[in-house]
Amino acid sequence: MKDENYLKAHNARSLWHPMTAPSDSLKNPPAIITGGQGVRITDIDGHEVVDGVGGLWNVNLGYSCQPVKDAITQQMERLPYYSTFRGTSNDCVIELAEELRKFFEPDGLVRAFFTSGGSDSVETALRLSRQYHKIRGDHGRVKFLSLKKGYHGTHMGGASVNGNANFRTMYEPLLPGCHHIPAPYTYRNPFNEADPAKLAHLCLQALEDEIAFQGAATIAAFIMEPILGAGGVIPPHESFMPGVEAICRKNGILLIADEVITAFGRTGAWTGSRLWGVKPDFTCTAKAITNGYFPFGATMISERVAEVFESDDSGKAAIGHGYTYSGHPVGAAAALACLAETQKLNVKDNAAARGTELHQGLLKLQAKHELIGDVRGGHGLMSAIELVADRDTKKPVDKAIPGKVQATAYRAGAMVRVSGNNIIMSPPLVLTSQDVQVIVAALDAGFNAL
């Protein structure tokens, strides 16, 4: 490996980073992470911190999950790659599909279509939902509905159903026929409604109104995260997702659950859909499916959707979609080992317990620091604090403030993530109580330093 001076000097010389301006990487060199152990990461200067971001919502089992590492190594020796396109398969991917079927059975999902990651999984669900309707003869069902503030990746389809202008404006025009309704975001919403149950009802009314306006017979699917993640950790009222499901069923619209973040225990339940008692038609997964150790994902498919595809003899059900790395044997081996370890450790229960501790710690910080306008979380290990210059007007803080808090928190022992006016935490699900306190104390130091 090149020495540290070389790496620091050359980081932005030949490399463009995702989700930031190239000029920003030149002006503000990033932390260069060179090691990871347990729930901690170490940078090039030897500074070790608790990873409050969990890689990027995906390192649920931490950086020392040896069974997954061993599975990757062994599969690389045995069969490093082969395609799963028509005519070939591999043993690992067949076994993984069976294990995922068992895992997602309570969600009513019985088939797996493998992808390279979360954006791929969303794209797959969007495309297959249109195809489902065409097989049935409903050729007019081509539109998609989604939530403002929702995040569904960065492919053209995913960006089109995204509800955040940051991922849309510079790439427009996007896919036509994508329409958005207000998110059940109690802190900021067009109804000025702070009661979660009332807001959920208003958003559901908005959904029904939009369906009536567009025409139910033109809509293929509604896509949503069970808990909105990148949009600022926005948990809906418990009535919201079941309400969405009921409206979709009434109108013949497919429900896509984007669980790229929420599947595999992050919410304190095994899936976000299960948390709310919903059975979607598609579920998009990735991230924690391999603990972040290998790029891999899956779109899970319900019985009723599968039956339409599998019973068709007209040729319309031939899937003209897939990726070179769909069902990659090394990714499948990693996912098998990761799923086994995830269930063995029963990480959902620890996520629920530690998530409650983290949420309570953040509420204490809110009582102490006026800049914290809102604290969101309480469902597993996904939390956010929203910073405001004035609590009464909810005016956002200066853009530099969240970054200053993050930088000081990092020096004080915890990595957290900045997203607009939000500071987001999504640590590994194997976090301890002591680790939670490190994150809270580091954030406290960040606010005290302003």
Residue with tokens 């009222």: 237
Tell me what the mean pLDDT of segment 165-170 comes to.
93
Task: Give CA–CA dist 443/383, Å, rounded.
Answer: 13
Local confidence band at 58 (pLDDT 50, 70, 90 cut-offs): very high
Asked if 389 and 16 touch (Cβ cutoff 8 Å), the reply is: no
Phi and psi at residue 419, in whole multiples of 5°? -140, 95
Strands 254-258, 219-224: pairing is: parallel
Side chain identity, residue 346: N
Q: Where are the alpha helices (DSSP H) in 38-153?
A: 54-57, 66-78, 91-104, 118-135
Task: Give CA–CA dist 125/221, Å, rounded.
Answer: 9
Q: Is the pLDDT of residue 277 over 60?
A: yes
pLDDT, tens digit (0-9, with 9 covering 90-100), for 70-103: 999 999 999 999 999 999 999 999 999 999 999 9
Q: What is the pTM of this model?
A: 0.97
Phi and psi at residue 66, in whole multiples of 5°? -65, -35
pLDDT, tens digit (0-9, with 9 covering 90-100), for 356-373: 999 999 999 999 999 999
* CA 116 from centre of chain: 14
Tell me what the mean pLDDT of segment 41-65 comes to.
97
What is residue 287's DSSP assignment? G
Give, to the nearest 10 degrees, the angle between helix 196-214 and helix 240-251. 20
Residue 246: how many CB atoms within 10 A of its CB?
13
The pLDDT value recorded for residue 254 is: 99
Structure tokens given for 214: 């567009």
The pLDDT value recorded for residue 25 is: 86
3-state DSSP assignment of residue 178: strand
The pLDDT value recorded for residue 312 is: 96
Q: Is the pLDDT of residue 187 over 90?
A: yes
Structure tokens given for 432: 């301890």
pLDDT, tens digit (0-9, with 9 covering 90-100), for 331-358: 999 999 999 999 999 999 999 999 999 9
Task: Give CA–CA dist 51/62, Å, rounded.
Answer: 9
Q: Is the pLDDT of residue 214 over 90?
A: yes
List of residues 6+ apart from 105 with CB closer than 8 A: none
Q: Is the pLDDT of residue 1 over 60?
A: no
**Closest to 337 measured CA to CA, from 2, 30, 67, 36:** 67
Asked if 180 and 148 touch (Cβ cutoff 8 Å), the reply is: yes
3-state DSSP assignment of residue 54: helix
